Structure 1
Amino acid sequence: MNTRADTLTDLTAAASPQRYTRTAITLHWLIALLIIVNVALALSADSLPDDWARPVIDTHKSIGITVLGLALLRILWRVSHKPPPLPREFPSWEKIAAHLAHFVLYLLMIALPLSGWLHDSAWKDAATHPMHWFGLFQWPRIGYVMNLDPTLKESLHDRFGALHTWLGYALYALLAMHIGGALKHEWMDRKSVLTRMKP
């Protein structure tokens, strides 16, 4: 026998979207692709010949700035467009963990490129080596950081670099859990969450 609460839950579920919007899906997969490419570039930069290293690093920076912009756009879209609910069968702790993981993932998608931008702005040769977004136009450094005392700037360059590295490790770990969780629901629980985000 259905209770009033069950009926209200069923009505809410019926009124909720069952898939993400096309814009959300496009932003999700575009950001995911750019992050994967940037991870590959970051891991390969040290092993490349010297004449390859600079173009790879510049591309890495351009992708990072792009991810920052797209992540901010994704957050604005998420706030203004209700996402589809997780399956009702999921336990409460799993829903809370999923929401928390998404929050931290968004945080990292902002903090990681921002720390890289700060790291680049504190580079001692930043003034003589302009940064260009995919070679199309000059991208500004963070002026306040660029104009600091050289000694302080060098120290900040090292600290921002270390922060960028550790945030990168955190993102790798969270992405692995995100993908692993989605595949677990798909293959083991038989409660697909991937259908909500399929193009």
Structure 2
Amino acid sequence: MRNKYTSLQITLHWLVFLLIVGAYCAMELKGFAPRSYRPLFNATHVTCGIGVFFLMIARLLVRIKYRAPQITPKPHPAITGISHLVHTIIYLMFIVLPILGFTTVYFKGSDWSVLGIPMPHAAEADEDREFAVKGYHQLIANMGYFVIGIHAFAALFHHYVWKDNTLLRMMPGKKD
């Protein structure tokens, strides 16, 4: 049995990570930029978000095909259960967030595009729906900081305290 994720799984994981960093940075840093640059920050955020959506779907399909490699030494079943819960939350969160973001822009009712491709929009703006969906998008995105933090902390805790192979399974490089 493998002791690492497949190179495809590792690549998808780290690409999603980079796109999430890009999406979060674009929104957090937008306020520091001159107003004339804000459309660039918005476009970066949207583009990264759409990339996250498609790569998370790909990750989910690949994850269904390839089982996770075993953790050695084997953790307590409760730890495995918590891990599965956190991973389920991560998958749901980063599939739902781009959908909510897309829906927010849709309800603005104005022309918009991604990488030059025109996107659909409501015939008339619906500010109530736009702000409601945007509120959910922002709430889940803010929860994302916490969930990502738990995920990263757990990987480091596994590696440095429990000294198992959890972190090493997802690191790029040669197979062990």
Sort the TM-score into its range (normalised by shorter chain).
Answer: over 0.9
| 1:67 and 2:52 are equivalent in the alignment | yes
What secondary structure sits across from 1:86 in the alignment?
Answer: coil
What secondary structure sits across from 2:5 in the alignment?
Answer: coil
Q: Which residue of 1 aligns with 2:153?
A: 180
Which residue, out of 98, 102, 106, partners 1:117?
Answer: 102
Larger radius of gyration: 1
Structure 1 residue 189: Cα displacement = 1.2
- Provide the identity percentage: 24
Structure 1 residue 167: Cα displacement = 0.8
| 1:43 and 2:22 are equivalent in the alignment | no
What secondary structure sits across from 1:122 in the alignment?
Answer: helix
Structure 1 residue 195: Cα displacement = 1.0
Structure 1 residue 73: Cα displacement = 0.6
Q: Which residue of 2 aligns with 1:9?
A: none
Contact 1:86 1:95 in 2 (8 A): no
What secondary structure sits across from 1:85 in the alignment?
Answer: coil
Output the TM-score relative to the length of structure 1.
0.82
Q: Structure 2 CA distance, aligned partners of 1:117 and 1:157?
A: 10
Q: Which residue of 2 aligns with 1:194?
A: 167
With over 3 angstroms needed to count, the CA separation of the structure-2 counterparts of 1:17 and 1:166, relative to structure 1, is same
Which residue, out of 154, 162, 167, partners 2:140?
Answer: 167
| 1:140 and 2:119 are equivalent in the alignment | yes
4+ residue segments displaced more than 2 Å: 85-89
Give unmatched runs, 5+ long, in structure 1.
1-15
With over 3 angstroms needed to count, the CA separation of the structure-2 counterparts of 1:35 and 1:139, relative to structure 1, is farther
Structure 1 residue 46: Cα displacement = 2.0
Contact 2:10 2:170 in 1 (8 A): yes
1:138 aligned partner, one-letter code? I
Structure 1 residue 87: Cα displacement = 3.0
1:83 aligned partner, one-letter code? A
Q: Deviations over 1:115-137 (max 9, x none)?
A: 1000111114x23xx2222xxx3
1:156 aligned partner, one-letter code? R
Structure 1 residue 86: Cα displacement = 2.7
| 1:84 and 2:57 are equivalent in the alignment | no
Q: Structure 1 CA distance, aligned partners of 2:62 and 2:49?
A: 20
Structure 1 residue 88: Cα displacement = 4.5
1:189 aligned partner, one-letter code? W
Give the total of aligned pairs. 172
Output the TM-score relative to the length of structure 2.
0.92
